[in-house]
């Protein structure tokens, strides 16, 4: 089984725990004096800064300490970023963010720290030559003694930008033009740190956070919320409760796909998993968060030309990809209208750089040319197996998922012309962390 699919199965394991990191709480140390010196974020901490590095590891900073990821004990900041120490006069950081600037690979994915009137640029946990600099050298027009900072890529902001927070003022820095526009968001709490996570923006204040729109500062929903329920693993907090890992023999996918942007999605009941990249890891959410029209689950899903097609019963829902998934006007439509087929769909997939959707219904696979108008079935062949739950086509071939097993085929031709089913392979605990 290819590595890509193994990681997707790991995603499903977390989906079944409602996205809560299945890891121990902040660890204690044996030495009593060291324990007393380490801050405990589960006690309720106001972070100085939060930012991911180029590997996708998120760092939470407080004073001279940091936490790597959403669980684990605090450590000295200079263990990860050696210049963050008293000798270099960086006992703490005011703000931090990971640069998004693909047009300039010399800056892209670098993590920037701000302290007083200085900025420090790191890559691979190494301070870049020439740093620290005056903030004005790298970010003209941006004030000193910042409270927080967060990147905002093009598509979510008008262009690749950085939002710098100081009090109630937000300074929008355009990376390409090096210009600053300032707005006052008096309705938003004063942010002591900020984080962009899966195209959502979070202002941290005290031990709470508030999600906001990066263009308007608009807050929708019930906020603030306690960060310990969402961004770290703490006793008596979070959504995992006393959940015990699901047995591998009980695993069952409803649908799976990868979009043109490289994001992968797995669906199981009312929960979906999203994997952006191996770097940034995987995350679980309720389907209603992005696709309220299919909140209770889907039968099949496939991606094509920057759109995601959801099939539920005899309806097809098409959403535009992007920062916010938008249902295309006029949908849903019936399967007959959209794809020229009728009946229940078990699975569907489109292979990379192809224009045919392969639709599995029972023990048959039907091909529909997505460039044709109207769309009709162009090929209808028997399959060597039936009752498939989900299907995915990638560079290394096709995987068909059926309960806790999967079948691998090198190509659609081998799949559709085979007359004898291959031997299935079982999902194991090594693949997805379930219980054998």
Binding-site residue ranges for heme: 239, 283
Q: How far is CA 111 from the centre of its chain?
A: 19
Distances in Å between the alpha carbon of 306 and those of 79, 125, 194?
42, 35, 29
What torsion, rounded to 10 degrees, do the Cα atoms 103, 351, 379, 362 define?
-130
Tally Cβ neighbours within 10 Å of residue 434: 22
Q: Give the separation between CA 335 and CA 239, rounded to whole angstroms.
A: 37
Q: Give the separation between CA 253 and CA 197, rounded to whole angstroms.
A: 25
Instruction: Enter the tokens of residue 325.
Output: 């998934």
- Contact between 345 and 391 under an 8 Å Cβ cutoff? The reply is no
DSSP 108-142: TT-EEEEETTEEEEEETTEEPTT-SEEHHHHSTT-
Annotated binding site: 239, 283
Half-sphere exposure of 250 (CA within 13 A, CB side): 10
- Residue 212 β-bridge partners: 201
């Amino acid at each position: 089984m290819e590595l890509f699919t193994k990681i997707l199965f790991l995603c499903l394991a977390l989906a079944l725990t409602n996205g809560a990191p299945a890891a121990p709480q902040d660890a204690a140390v044996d030495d009593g004096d060291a324990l007393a010196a380490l801050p405990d974020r589960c006690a309720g901490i106001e972070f100085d800064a939060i930012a991911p590095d180029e590997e996708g590891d998120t760092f939470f900073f407080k004073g001279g300490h940091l936490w790597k990821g959403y669980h684990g004990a605090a450590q000295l900041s200079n263990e990860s970023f050696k210049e963050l120490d008293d000798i270099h006069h960086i006992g703490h950081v005011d703000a931090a963010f990971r640069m998004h600037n693909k047009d300039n690979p010399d800056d892209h994915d670098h993590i920037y720290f701000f302290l007083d009137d200085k900025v420090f640029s790191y890559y691979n946990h190494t301070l870049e030559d020439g740093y620290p600099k005056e903030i004005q050298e790298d970010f003209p027009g941006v004030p000193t003694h910042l409270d927080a900072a967060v990147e905002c890529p093009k598509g979510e902001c008008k262009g690749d930008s950085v939002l710098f927070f100081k009090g109630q003022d937000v300074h929008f820095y355009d990376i390409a033009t090096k210009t600053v526009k300032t707005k006052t968001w008096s309705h938003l709490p004063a942010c002591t740190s900020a984080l962009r996570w899966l195209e959502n923006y979070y202002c941290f204040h005290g031990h709470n956070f508030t999600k906001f729109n990066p263009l308007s500062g608009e807050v929708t929903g019930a906020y603030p919320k306690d960060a310990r329920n969402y961004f770290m693993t703490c006793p008596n907090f979070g959504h995992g409760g006393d959940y015990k890992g699901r047995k591998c023999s009980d695993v069952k996918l409803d649908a799976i796909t990868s979009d043109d942007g490289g994001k992968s999605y797995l669906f199981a009941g009312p929960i979906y998993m999203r994997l952006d990249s191996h770097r940034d890891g995987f995350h679980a959410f309720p389907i209603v968060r992005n696709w309220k029209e299919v909140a209770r689950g889907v039968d099949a899903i496939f991606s094509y030309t920057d759109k995601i097609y959801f099939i539920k019963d005899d309806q097809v829902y098409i959403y535009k990809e992007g920062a916010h998934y938008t249902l295309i006007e006029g949908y849903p439509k019936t399967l007959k209208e959209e794809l020229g087929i009728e009946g229940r769909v078990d699975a569907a997939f489109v292979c990379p750089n192809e224009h045919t959707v392969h639709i599995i219904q029972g023990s048959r696979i039907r091909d529909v040319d997505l460039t044709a108008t109207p769309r009709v079935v162009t090929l209808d062949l028997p399959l060597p197996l039936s009752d498939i739950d989900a299907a995915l086509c990638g560079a290394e071939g096709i995987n068909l998922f059926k309960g806790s097993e999967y079948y691998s085929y090198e190509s659609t031709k081998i799949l559709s012309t085979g007359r004898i089913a291959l031997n299935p392979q079982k999902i194991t605990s090594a693949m997805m962390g379930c219980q054998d």
